[in-house]
Chains A and B, each alone.
Chain A
Amino acid sequence: MKSQMGDRAKFWAGGTDMVLLWQRGEIDLDHCIDLRHLGELDYISVEDDSISIGAMCSLSALERSADEHHLLATLSEITKLMCTPQTRTLATVGGNMCNASPAADLSPAFVAMDAEAIILGDAGERRVSMFEFFEGVNKTALRGNELLKEISIPLPVAGNIAAGYRRIDRTVVDIALVNASSALTVDASGKITKATVALGAVAPVIVRSEVAAVPLVGRSLDALDDAALAASGEAAAGDAKPISDVRASADYRRDMVKVMVRRSLADCIEQLKG
């Protein structure tokens, strides 16, 4: 359908952003292809080695999935920060990702969890890491007729993973001034084997801070003190490239990155220690 209609057609998921763009005349289309008819893209499934979230899964369905896995519980808490209950029933996970706002709440969490986008195209499926999926403000790795099918979150074969998310906002129903998500993977002995820190609203894309992992990886969970978390936050702030705008100054955002990273890591540790 999309290939027949070309650029004058656009996929329509929940439509909660698209209706507004349409009404403001910021998009001009002949056709919108309503994906709500694709019920098969509305799912959440937990396997031994991965969690799969269908692109048409609504934010409210994600919110209700908290009991299925502790990573879903983290994502569920994030959805509660997003829009309102009666808009979360419409808005979809895939639509939120394809809108590619650098301040989106779920995006840094998916990047921190090392999730992959599964993309459907004319030639079949391909996988792109969520980090590479975001190419700019409202720009994704989707090309031509391609469609986001699923977000796939890998789970460690041995050991455990936990993720945390923190944001600074002005009020509820607001977008993040700064946000950060981190994920820690530990092996059976409690040693940190992997740490991923992702930052939102501090660049046109989600920033993945490799240096923020340095103070964490290789240490045992019990040895992670406040100084280690602060060092990670400090390192992450060096990777942030925030702008000053009407909502916050660049300096404030950079300072808050340190705090958000530190707190999101503390959340991970708390979950891993149970």
Chain B
Amino acid sequence: MATLKVNNRALEVDSRPDRTLADVLRNDLGLIGVRVSCSEGECGSCTVLVDGEPHTSCLMLVNQAEGHEITTIEGIGTTDDLHPIQQAFVEEQGFQCAFCTPGFILSAKAFLAENPNPTADEAAVAMSGNICRCGAYPYIVRSVLNAAEKLRNEAGTQAAE
């Protein structure tokens, strides 16, 4: 039995300790926005935020996540109220099939928290741990830059208020 803090909720999971975090998030908690593709930490589909840092959840054992704040794509926006980064991906068509998109968006979230005003090159390097098999990369970079602008404007508005 482990207690995981996922998307601001404390959830009990009954799991063997040798299962991966990705497996438990998907199959026990139904958070299927956590995509599993390569299962060896190369493709970035399973990226989640752990205390705000991006982690490949397919390489983490579930017990290693205990006591940490886990954020999945389900935790950052809803269909009616998209997160600015999600909105930016929609506007810039930063995907085709969208399998990889949750991982990209979470990587972008961590990256933009650190670098709110990146160049296109910096954004491309920051997204290098995520693979898009549709090859939407140029659109993804534009999405990240658009998201950066949205987040800066949001922060500016908040500061002004």
Interface residues of A (CB under 8 A from B): 12, 14-16, 19-20, 22-23, 32, 34, 36, 60, 83-87, 89-90, 172-173
Is B86 interfacial (CB 8 A cutoff)? Answer: no
Is B40 interfacial (CB 8 A cutoff)? Answer: yes
CB distance from B53 to the nearest CB of A (A): 5
Cα A201 to Cα B61 in complex, Å, equals: 30
Main secondary structure of the interface of B (DSSP, over half): mixed
Residue from A23, A32, A34, A87 with most neighbouring chain B CB atoms (10 Å): A87
Cα A23 to Cα B58 in complex, Å, equals: 11
Residues of chain B lying within 8 A (CB to CB) of residue A23 = 39
Q: Given contacts A23-B39, A34-B63, are A85 and B20 in contact (CB under 8 A)?
A: no
Is B42 interfacial (CB 8 A cutoff)? Answer: yes
Within 8 A of A (CB), among B87-111: 107, 111
Say yes or no: B126 contacts A85, CB within 8 Å. Answer: yes
Interface residues of B (CB under 8 A from A): 18, 20, 39-42, 44, 47, 50, 53-56, 58-61, 63-64, 107, 111, 126, 128-130
Say yes or no: B60 contacts A15, CB within 8 Å. Answer: yes
Q: Given contacts A16-B41, A20-B40, are A84 and B59 in contact (CB under 8 A)?
A: no
Say yes or no: B56 contacts A87, CB within 8 Å. Answer: yes
**Would you list 10 pairs from A and B whose C-beta atoms are within 8 A, ordered by A residue?**
A32-B18, A34-B61, A36-B64, A60-B53, A84-B42, A84-B129, A85-B54, A86-B129, A86-B130, A173-B128
Cα A173 to Cα B53 in complex, Å, equals: 20
Say yes or no: B53 contacts A84, CB within 8 Å. Answer: no
Cα A84 to Cα B104 in complex, Å, equals: 13
Residues of chain B lying within 8 A (CB to CB) of residue A60 = 53
Out of A14, A15, A16, A86, name the residue touching B47 (CB < 8 Å).
A86
Residues of chain B lying within 8 A (CB to CB) of residue A22 = 18
